[in-house]
Structure 1
Amino acid sequence: MTGGLQIIGLDEVIAKRNGSVDPAKFPSEVFELLSIPAFDSGLPQITVGAEIRSTKQVVQEGDVLLSKIVPHIRRAWVVKPTTNHRLIASGEWIVFRDSRFEPGYLRHLLTADRFHRQFMQTVSGIGGSLLRARPAEVAKIKVVLPPKKDQRRIAAILDKADSLRRKRQDAIRLADEFLRAVFIDMFGDPETNPKSFDKGTIRDLVSSANYGTSEKASEQIGQFPILRMNNITYKGGWDFSSLKYVDLDEASAHKYLAQKGDLLFNRTNSKELVGKTAVYMRDEPMAIAGYLVRVRMNEHGNSHYVSGYLNSKHGKRTLEARAKSIVGMANINAQEMQDIPLLLPPIDLQDKYAGIVDAVQKRLKKHHAFGREADAINAALSEKFFGYIGEKVEELC
């Protein structure tokens, strides 16, 4: 111990015997499911066992969950029950449990820059965005354990800074809920087709569907930024905070650049995340990586309508049912994506929906700018606390 600080190995903190459950064996039981997709809403999914397709971890109040998937690393979640139902979490979380840590402090510690740099040294996989942290290696990381009163003080200050980011997330969540409601109001439930639209497949609305480039990307140098699977959010938005760069000749540029209005589809990812879809709406072109499909519509289709469907609850269930598992990952290729059935409303109605989406996204731009400022404030405060503590321990050890 040094000045009230202890150095703790995470092997003492990672939950080793938290158990598991196959919810499908309890089809009518209601569970609280903390999944990677649910993280952005800040609330677990309340759902029956019959709707949950794989074995999950059993977690408990006060646990801290850290995502081990590279596109979603730096997501930490304190388990706080919202119902009396059983608490379960997907296998993409590493579960931390130790009464010596205040959960709020531990959450901030696990997302701080100092810890993140060590955490990223533990990842492995088949490359790129399919990397995952290895819990056995994460367990070797040493962290700082201050007295409980100091943990509470640090957590309280960082929580206040974090609240600025949550306001931005709330605005995005409300916009997403609004657009989902607009989609159902304009096109009806895809399952029951109450408006009696013609039925078909995505292929009926597509003029071309192409895979992205396999060219190796650079962290800093290249002619074009390249979009990867981590740049598309689960709910159909964009995250441009982590970009790489690539050079393309004239012929390759024609094949591999995304233009404004293109629909991009994530063909390979984890079972929960495969099929992420968003419409690219920037004026400047960007390259697309090989795990994405660039889809362009014909005169009968609008990319915002197709994206709205694939991001709807019905669309997500369809994607999960059609995904094929390969070596721990899931895949839906370009042909299989185009074979997905959907309703074929008139193009003028699709265009009207696209206009509403565009108006909402323009209103959200100021929230994104505000969010970047909030991120900078939070990062500075986090480095002040965890950087200073770490430096002092290193000096005195």
Structure 2
Amino acid sequence: MKVDKSRWHRDLLGNLCNIKRGGSPRPIQKFLTDAPDGINWIKIGDAGDSKFISSCKEKIIPEGVSKSRFVHKGDFLLSNSMSFGRPYILNVDGCIHDGWLVLEQPKQFDKSYLYYLLGSAPMYEKFAQKAQGAVVNNLNIDRVASVEIIYPPLDIQQAIAAELDAVQAMIDGYKAQLEDLDALAQSIFLDMFGDPVSNPKGWEKGSLNKYASIGTGATPSRKIVSYYEGDIPWVKSTEVHNSYIWETQEHITKEAIDNSNCSIYLPDTILVAMYGQGKTRGQVGLLRIKAATNQACAAIQCKDSLNPTFCYWHFQMCYEANRELGNGTNQKNMNLTIVGNIKFIIPPLSLQQEFAFKIESIEKQKELICKQLEDAKTMMAERMQYYFS
């Protein structure tokens, strides 16, 4: 849809929205409750990929409301620190901590339009400029209020939102198809082998280091810029997220390999994230290319009795159990010894290969859907750039 931006209005966000900051009763542990009359305690962790926050994992006692900020269904939340500038629409009432700003919606905005506007790349760039200068980049009421936006009449807003909603529905549909295929792969694994942790089928078990060689990588010196101007793919743990690895964000040179502890690993090497933020630790990837890795990844090369595809899915099926094996007080990190000592079930190789054949068919379907998903994401980015720049 083409638009004439000469008809659009221009104003500061603070003149259009009543912006307030959340608050946290302290110590928060004294205010948490499981009681039926508890108040929803809305945290960053309650937000997902959806535009809506519809449920909360925790509640606080009513006495905590006066020490926090009560928000209502239909209000907009904006994260103000760390991953700042991410908008959400509330589908519940509750209280928010000081990691949130609430934008009480003015009548001149369509809800979906405002969501897409606040989440657009041009708007993020404006937020990022305002957030600079602190030790940790963050937003506050004044910084958000001083951001200038342009916006069309309500009927144009609704038409733009409808178009973007349609593209988002395509994206969500492709993601759902990928989730269904992953669920199918998991059900095939369980049907053929059972739960690898409890091992109800009584397969032979042994430490992984008996059936595979295990190594890691390194980070070449960032001070030597030329090291990162090569053509050798270099995998970071943040790129290991339960998927095949066909490409990497960064590439290094042979000189970087020679002057660090990096090694080049072959396709069918399994990479395990040994540490990292959030869900990263314990996630796994299967190399489809030759690549080096950083030191946060364990690189597993299977011996003859262990099929790489089976090994890759074994790690996925044991994700939660493997995460608990880590060492550390603040954050449980894994290391090569821990990874090597992980217990694996070892069914007959012919059965592992039969499983790998079935999975390869699923992965071919996923590859086609991933291409469609990337095309839809590109379309969304282009339309949002057009409407909100």
Query: What TM-score do you get using the length of structure 2 for normalisation?
Result: 0.72
Judge conservation of contact 2:22–2:95 (CA < 8 Å) in 1.
Answer: no
Are residue 226 (structure 1) and residue 234 (structure 2) matched? yes
* 1:260 aligned to which of 260, 267, 270: 267
Judge conservation of contact 1:74–1:110 (CA < 8 Å) in 2.
Answer: yes
Question: For residues 321 and 58 of structure 1, what CA distance do their matches in structure 2 show?
Answer: 36
1:305 deviates by 2.4
Judge conservation of contact 2:273–2:284 (CA < 8 Å) in 1.
Answer: yes
* 1:376 aligned to which of 365, 375, 378: 378
Judge conservation of contact 2:43–2:56 (CA < 8 Å) in 1.
Answer: no
What amino acid sits opposite 1:179 in the alignment? A
Are residue 196 (structure 1) and residue 202 (structure 2) matched? yes
Alignment of 1:37-116 (within 5 A): 39=48, 61-62=73-74, 63-64=76-77, 78-80=89-91, 96-100=102-106, 103-116=111-124
Deviations 1:179-218 (A, max 9, x none): 1111111111234322111233333332222233334377
Question: For residues 19 and 310 of structure 1, what CA distance do their matches in structure 2 show?
Answer: 40
Alignment of 1:312-351 (within 5 A): 312=317, 315-325=318-328, 330-351=332-353
- Give the aligned partner of residue 282 of structure 2: 275
* 2:356 aligned to which of 349, 354, 357: 354
Contiguous gaps of at least 5 residues in structure 1 = 50-56, 126-131, 388-397
Deviations 1:231-283 (A, max 9, x none): 222x445585x71221123756994223210111112212432122111123x
Q: Point out the structure with max Rg over C-alpha.
A: 2
Question: For residues 181 and 4 of structure 1, what CA distance do their matches in structure 2 show?
Answer: 54
What amino acid sits opposite 2:296 in the alignment? Y
- Give the aligned partner of residue 301 of structure 2: 296
TM-align CA RMSD: 4.6
Are residue 214 (structure 1) and residue 220 (structure 2) matched? yes
Assess, with a 3 A threshold, how the Cα gap between structure 1 residues 278 and 227 changes in structure 2: closer, same or farther.
same
Question: For residues 6 and 211 of structure 1, what CA distance do their matches in structure 2 show?
Answer: 51
Question: For residues 52 and 355 of structure 2, what CA distance do their matches in structure 1 show?
Answer: 28
Question: For residues 94 and 323 of structure 2, what CA distance do their matches in structure 1 show?
Answer: 22
What amino acid sits opposite 1:203 in the alignment? N
Judge conservation of contact 2:118–2:124 (CA < 8 Å) in 1.
Answer: yes
Judge conservation of contact 1:212–1:293 (CA < 8 Å) in 2.
Answer: no
Assess, with a 3 A threshold, how the Cα gap between structure 1 residues 271 and 169 changes in structure 2: closer, same or farther.
closer
Assess, with a 3 A threshold, how the Cα gap between structure 1 residues 138 and 15 changes in structure 2: closer, same or farther.
closer
1:118 deviates by 4.4
Question: For residues 232 and 377 of structure 1, what CA distance do their matches in structure 2 show?
Answer: 26
* 1:170 aligned to which of 161, 166, 176: 176
Query: What TM-score do you get using the length of structure 1 for normalisation?
Result: 0.71
Judge conservation of contact 1:212–1:294 (CA < 8 Å) in 2.
Answer: no
Question: For residues 50 and 202 of structure 2, what CA distance do their matches in structure 1 show?
Answer: 33
Judge conservation of contact 2:127–2:139 (CA < 8 Å) in 1.
Answer: no
Assess, with a 3 A threshold, how the Cα gap between structure 1 residues 350 and 102 changes in structure 2: closer, same or farther.
farther
Question: For residues 360 and 292 of structure 2, what CA distance do their matches in structure 1 show?
Answer: 22
